[in-house]
Protein backbone atom coordinates (compact mmCIF):
# COMPACT_ATOMS: atom_id res chain seq x y z
CA UNK A 1 0.00 0.00 0.00
CA UNK A 2 1.24 3.48 -0.82
CA UNK A 3 2.47 5.55 2.11
CA UNK A 4 0.55 8.83 1.79
CA UNK A 5 1.53 11.26 4.54
CA UNK A 6 0.96 14.59 2.76
CA UNK A 7 -1.78 15.49 0.27
CA UNK A 8 -1.79 18.67 -1.77
CA UNK A 9 -5.42 19.65 -2.42
CA UNK A 10 -5.52 22.28 -5.18
CA UNK A 11 -8.73 24.31 -5.28
CA UNK A 12 -10.04 27.32 -7.20
CA UNK A 13 -12.90 28.18 -4.81
CA UNK A 14 -15.48 27.34 -7.49
CA UNK A 15 -18.74 25.59 -6.61
CA UNK A 16 -16.92 22.26 -7.19
CA UNK A 17 -14.08 22.90 -4.74
CA UNK A 18 -15.96 21.39 -1.75
CA UNK A 19 -16.27 18.14 -3.74
CA UNK A 20 -12.50 18.12 -4.32
CA UNK A 21 -11.96 18.86 -0.62
CA UNK A 22 -14.21 15.94 0.35
CA UNK A 23 -12.02 13.48 -1.58
CA UNK A 24 -8.84 14.91 -0.05
CA UNK A 25 -10.39 14.83 3.43
CA UNK A 26 -11.54 11.21 3.12
CA UNK A 27 -8.16 10.04 1.85
CA UNK A 28 -6.44 12.11 4.53
CA UNK A 29 -8.64 10.52 7.20
CA UNK A 30 -7.91 7.00 5.99
CA UNK A 31 -4.17 7.55 5.66
CA UNK A 32 -3.77 9.89 8.66
CA UNK A 33 -2.17 12.31 6.21
CA UNK A 34 -1.55 16.02 6.49
CA UNK A 35 -3.43 18.10 3.91
CA UNK A 36 -2.16 21.27 2.29
CA UNK A 37 -4.97 23.19 0.58
CA UNK A 38 -3.57 25.37 -2.21
CA UNK A 39 -5.13 28.24 -4.15
CA UNK A 40 -3.18 29.89 -6.97
CA UNK A 41 -4.19 33.50 -7.64
CA UNK A 42 -3.36 34.96 -11.06
CA UNK A 43 -0.13 36.97 -11.04
CA UNK A 44 -1.31 39.42 -13.71
CA UNK A 45 2.37 39.91 -14.64
CA UNK A 46 1.39 39.43 -18.28
CA UNK A 47 -0.40 42.80 -18.12
CA UNK A 48 2.64 44.88 -17.13
CA UNK A 49 3.09 46.29 -20.67
CA UNK A 50 -0.55 47.41 -21.10
CA UNK A 51 -0.54 51.09 -20.07
CA UNK A 52 -1.35 50.08 -16.52
CA UNK A 53 1.19 51.21 -13.94
CA UNK A 54 2.96 48.25 -12.30
CA UNK A 55 2.06 49.67 -8.89
CA UNK A 56 -1.65 49.38 -9.79
CA UNK A 57 -1.19 45.76 -10.85
CA UNK A 58 0.75 44.95 -7.66
CA UNK A 59 -1.95 46.60 -5.56
CA UNK A 60 -4.69 44.66 -7.36
CA UNK A 61 -2.83 41.36 -6.95
CA UNK A 62 -2.33 42.18 -3.26
CA UNK A 63 -6.08 42.67 -2.85
CA UNK A 64 -6.77 39.38 -4.64
CA UNK A 65 -4.35 37.52 -2.37
CA UNK A 66 -5.80 39.11 0.79
CA UNK A 67 -9.33 38.15 -0.31
CA UNK A 68 -8.17 34.66 -1.22
CA UNK A 69 -6.53 34.20 2.19
CA UNK A 70 -9.83 35.14 3.88
CA UNK A 71 -11.69 32.77 1.56
CA UNK A 72 -9.14 30.03 2.32
CA UNK A 73 -9.74 30.37 6.07
CA UNK A 74 -13.49 30.00 5.57
CA UNK A 75 -13.03 27.14 3.09
CA UNK A 76 -10.88 25.18 5.53
CA UNK A 77 -13.30 25.83 8.40
CA UNK A 78 -16.26 24.66 6.28
CA UNK A 79 -14.65 21.62 4.62
CA UNK A 80 -11.98 20.23 6.95
CA UNK A 81 -13.03 19.46 10.47
CA UNK A 82 -10.78 17.70 13.00
CA UNK A 83 -8.01 16.99 10.51
CA UNK A 84 -4.41 18.18 10.13
CA UNK A 85 -4.79 20.83 7.41
CA UNK A 86 -3.00 23.99 6.33
CA UNK A 87 -3.93 26.53 3.68
CA UNK A 88 -1.63 28.34 1.28
CA UNK A 89 -2.32 31.12 -1.24
CA UNK A 90 0.26 31.89 -3.92
CA UNK A 91 0.32 33.84 -7.18
CA UNK A 92 1.42 32.57 -10.56
CA UNK A 93 0.41 30.12 -13.25
CA UNK A 94 -1.68 27.36 -11.62
CA UNK A 95 -0.07 24.25 -13.15
CA UNK A 96 3.46 25.51 -12.52
CA UNK A 97 2.71 26.54 -8.95
CA UNK A 98 0.90 23.29 -8.11
CA UNK A 99 3.82 21.23 -9.41
CA UNK A 100 6.43 23.41 -7.72
CA UNK A 101 4.70 23.40 -4.34
CA UNK A 102 3.95 19.67 -4.51
CA UNK A 103 7.67 19.05 -5.01
CA UNK A 104 8.81 21.58 -2.38
CA UNK A 105 6.33 20.24 0.19
CA UNK A 106 7.12 16.62 -0.72
CA UNK A 107 3.44 15.85 -1.36
CA UNK A 108 2.71 12.15 -1.74
CA UNK A 109 -0.49 12.84 -3.70
CA UNK A 110 -2.25 15.71 -5.45
CA UNK A 111 -6.04 15.99 -5.44
CA UNK A 112 -7.57 18.55 -7.77
CA UNK A 113 -10.61 19.30 -9.85
CA UNK A 114 -10.97 19.46 -13.59
CA UNK A 115 -13.44 21.67 -15.37
CA UNK A 116 -13.63 19.51 -18.47
CA UNK A 117 -13.08 22.31 -20.99
CA UNK A 118 -13.81 21.42 -24.58
CA UNK A 119 -13.32 22.93 -27.99
CA UNK A 120 -11.90 26.42 -28.30
CA UNK A 121 -11.67 26.94 -24.52
CA UNK A 122 -9.35 23.94 -24.24
CA UNK A 123 -7.24 25.18 -27.16
CA UNK A 124 -6.98 28.70 -25.73
CA UNK A 125 -6.63 27.92 -22.03
CA UNK A 126 -5.37 24.34 -21.97
CA UNK A 127 -5.96 22.17 -18.98
CA UNK A 128 -4.27 22.82 -15.67
CA UNK A 129 -5.19 19.30 -14.55
CA UNK A 130 -3.74 17.78 -17.72
CA UNK A 131 -0.45 19.64 -17.28
CA UNK A 132 -0.22 18.56 -13.64
CA UNK A 133 -1.04 14.92 -14.43
CA UNK A 134 1.57 14.78 -17.20
CA UNK A 135 4.33 16.41 -15.16
CA UNK A 136 3.79 15.38 -11.53
CA UNK A 137 6.13 12.96 -9.82
CA UNK A 138 3.33 12.22 -7.31
CA UNK A 139 0.06 10.48 -8.20
CA UNK A 140 -2.75 12.88 -9.13
CA UNK A 141 -6.44 12.28 -8.41
CA UNK A 142 -8.62 14.48 -10.61
CA UNK A 143 -12.24 15.12 -9.72
CA UNK A 144 -14.52 16.05 -12.58
CA UNK A 145 -17.56 18.20 -11.74
CA UNK A 146 -20.92 16.46 -11.98
**pLDDT range class, residue 120, cuts 50, 70, 90:** low
Note the pLDDT of residue 66.
81
The reported pTM is: 0.85
Note the pLDDT of residue 78.
96
All structural domains of the chain, each given as residue ranges with its CATH number in brackets, are: 6-143 (3.40.50.620)
Note the pLDDT of residue 61.
61
Cβ-Cβ contacts under 8 Å for 35 (sequence gap 6 or more): 6, 7, 8, 9, 24, 25, 28, 80, 83, 84, 85, 86
Query: Among 42-46, 55-59, 124-128, 133-137, where is mean pLDDT lowest?
Result: 55-59
Note the pLDDT of residue 81.
83
**pLDDT range class, residue 2, cuts 50, 70, 90:** confident
Amino acid sequence: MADIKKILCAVDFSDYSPMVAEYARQIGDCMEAEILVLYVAPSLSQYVGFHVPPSSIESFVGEIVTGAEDTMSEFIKDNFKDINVNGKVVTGYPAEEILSIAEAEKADMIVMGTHGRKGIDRILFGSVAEKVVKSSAAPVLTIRPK
